Structure 1
Amino acid sequence: MEAIHATTVLAVKHNGSIAIGADGQATLGNTVLKSHVKKVRKLQEGKVVVGFAGSTADAFTLLERFEEKLNKYGGIMERAALELAKDWRTDRFLRRLEAMMIAISKDDILIISGTGDVLRPDEEVAAIGSGSMYAQSAALALKRHAPHLTAREMVEESLRIAADICIYTNHNFTIEELSA
């Protein structure tokens, strides 16, 4: 069976707000399976928002574990992410999961991977998935040359650019925004 590909997830922090968005396409090989997948989810009553890329079942397993960690550690996103990454790396079951996540709070952006990484992006732009480099490049250019745009506008335009280039990314976006 071929691997399911797809997804561009992008988060941008700019001028006191953070936005995260994702496209809605899921593909199997060269076939679109679904066009309106929701890859962005609110956790902790909307205080944390997570976007995921990779296998859907694996991503939902990780979302559930991440929410458990958030509850256990009082909603402290960085601590929950570190504990999830540690479990993900050492647990025999979790180690097989193929997904990545970007988590945002009103103050922070983190990329969480199955290799045990919890990364805070240098320029307050994070991207994962097959179209991530297109979206990240566009977002960095917008931050540098169009600072009048909001974080949400930057995410939307960057996802649009990625969708125009990446065959695994479509124009059906889900975008959430948090303000400091």
Structure 2
Amino acid sequence: MASDFPGWHGTTIIGVRKGGKVVIAGDGQVSMGQTVMKGTARKVRRLSPGGHEIVAGFAGSTADAFALLERLETKLEAAAGKLDRACVELAKDWRTDKYLQKLEAMLIVTDGQDLLVVTGAGDVLEPEHDIAAIGSGGNYALAAGRAMIDLDMDAETVARKAMAIAADICVYTNTNLTVEAIGG
């Protein structure tokens, strides 16, 4: 039973769209309770299903996130690379499939144009203000990113600075970043 296991925490993922470019950045910390288990996890991945380039970041259980990324790849191939359609189909399956309903993860995905958050609650959200953030430090990164989005900085700089602020505040977030850019 999931409640029998100690709480795994530790992810902050941010997606920033600016100047025709989308950047997804994620920290590398995985914690169990108050212990840092790993500081170099890669929670941002580049995918190429059917030749369509996608960048995805995940928060939550790693195994669950990988299961969702595999499903997303299948959905993208079936939807001829249309990210929004593939994400809606994934979210529908996630809500209705008894196996998928147990998965504990969230995704931020982009194809360089769309920037979407996909959740197990059936949500496929395109964020306002061209910034999305998830995970334990997500709200800190989101607030920092929103404060900087209109400044003279590119998407990657906004993402990196927002992640640094989140890492200063959230004990489950570190500054060991994986950053992937697409578009522009």
Report the CA distance between 1:46 and its aligned residue: 6.8
1:47 corresponds, among 35, 42, 53, to: 53
Provide structure 1 residue ranges, at least 5 long, that are not aligned to the other structure.
Answer: none
Report the CA distance between 1:106 and its aligned residue: 1.2
Residue 30 of structure 2 corresponds to residue 31 of structure 1: no
Report the CA distance between 1:169 and its aligned residue: 0.1
Q: Give the 5 Å matches for 1:128-143.
A: 128-143=134-149
Two-structure CA RMSD over aligned residues (Å):
1.0
Report the CA distance between 1:72 and its aligned residue: 1.3
Output the CA distance in 1 between the equivalents of 2:180 and 2:56: 9
Report the CA distance between 1:15 and its aligned residue: 1.4
The equivalent of 1:111 in structure 2 is 117
Residue 62 of structure 2 corresponds to residue 56 of structure 1: yes
Output the CA distance in 2 between the equivalents of 1:71 and 1:108: 17
The equivalent of 1:153 in structure 2 is 157
Q: Secondary structure at the match of 2:140?
A: helix
The equivalent of 1:168 in structure 2 is 172
The equivalent of 2:17 in structure 1 is 13
Normalized against structure 2, the TM-score is what? 0.94
Letter in 1 for 2:115: I
% of aligned pairs identical?
A: 47
Letter in 1 for 2:9: H
Residue 174 of structure 2 corresponds to residue 177 of structure 1: no
Output the CA distance in 1 between the equivalents of 2:147 and 2:53: 28
More deviation in 4-13 or 42-51? 42-51
Q: Secondary structure at the match of 2:37?
A: strand
1:124 corresponds, among 118, 124, 130, to: 130
Q: Secondary structure at the match of 2:164?
A: helix
Letter in 1 for 2:113: D
Output the CA distance in 2 between the equivalents of 1:64 and 1:34: 24
Output the CA distance in 2 between the equivalents of 1:78 and 1:157: 28
Letter in 1 for 2:19: N
Report the CA distance between 1:3 and its aligned residue: 2.2
1:139-172: CA deviations, max 9, x gaps? 000013x1x1010010001001000110000010
The equivalent of 1:82 in structure 2 is 88
Could you list the structure 1 runs, at least 4 aligned residues long, displaced by more than 4 angstroms after superposition: none
Q: Secondary structure at the match of 2:66?
A: helix
Question: Does the 8 Å CA contact 2:15/2:25 hold for their aligned counterparts?
Answer: yes
Output the CA distance in 1 between the equivalents of 2:45 and 2:94: 20
The equivalent of 1:92 in structure 2 is 98
